Amino acid sequence: MSNHRWLSIPLLICAVTLGGCGINNIPTYDESVNARWSDVQNQYKRRADLIPNLIETVKGFAKQEADVLQQVTEARTKVTQTTISPEILSDEAMFQQFQSNQNALSSALSKMMLVVENYPDLKSNENFLQLQTQLEGTENRIAVARRDYIQAVERYNTELRTIPGRWWHKFMYAEMRPKATFTTDPEDFETPTVDFNSDDKS
């Protein structure tokens, strides 16, 4: 019994020493990235779930804006039908395709909301106002979720590239790969334009 106690002391010291050297940082940061990514997906899904009711409400007041509504519908379909592979966070091409699809939906929604400005009755409709509020809240949640994810990825990727994390990565976590993150395109800052003077409006 006494021998076991003495043997456990060096093991305890070793564990404490290794822990202080950051041996657990990589898996800990990896779990943080996964949690933040899950939140990003949840918020994007929340937005996608709002769109059908939003489209139907807008259609009731602006049927002649069929092209804009169709763009939103098609963009949403592409987003919801895309299979999210578990490997997406370590595959830059897959991740960028995910972002491209979401950006296309954001752009289509922006155009639709610009169209709404031309329909005062729609802008004052109670159902539309509720949906608009929910959409705005969701867009804010998406922005926060993306920010938190970007920060988590930055911490994780930095750990893989800097000492001592780079050592632990090489000897203990060689299978762990850098994570992809969101980028900002110049188009994201451009305001979409919609022609309100179409001859087919009544």
How high is the pLDDT of residue 63?
87
Q: Where are the domains of the chain?
A: 25-189
**Mean pLDDT score of the chain:** 85
> Hey, what are 48's tokens?
């996608």
Taking only the tens place, the pLDDT of each residue in 103-120 is: 999 999 999 999 999 999
Taking only the tens place, the pLDDT of each residue in 180-194 is: 999 865 444 344 443
> Hey, what are 194's tokens?
């919609």
**In 10 A of CB 93, how many CB atoms?**
9
How high is the pLDDT of residue 185?
55
Helix (H) or strand (E) holding 122: helix 120-123
- Confidence category of residue 20, pLDDT binned at 50, 70, 90: low
- Arch. (CATH architecture) of 25-189: Up-down Bundle (1.20)
pTM for the model stands at 0.81
Helix (H) or strand (E) holding 169: helix 165-171
C-alpha–C-alpha distance, residues 155 and 32, integer Å? 10
Contact 107, 54 (CB under 8 A): no
Taking only the tens place, the pLDDT of each residue in 28-51 is: 999 999 999 999 999 999 999 999
Is pLDDT larger for residue 4 or for residue 40?
40
Taking only the tens place, the pLDDT of each residue in 5-19 is: 444 444 434 444 444
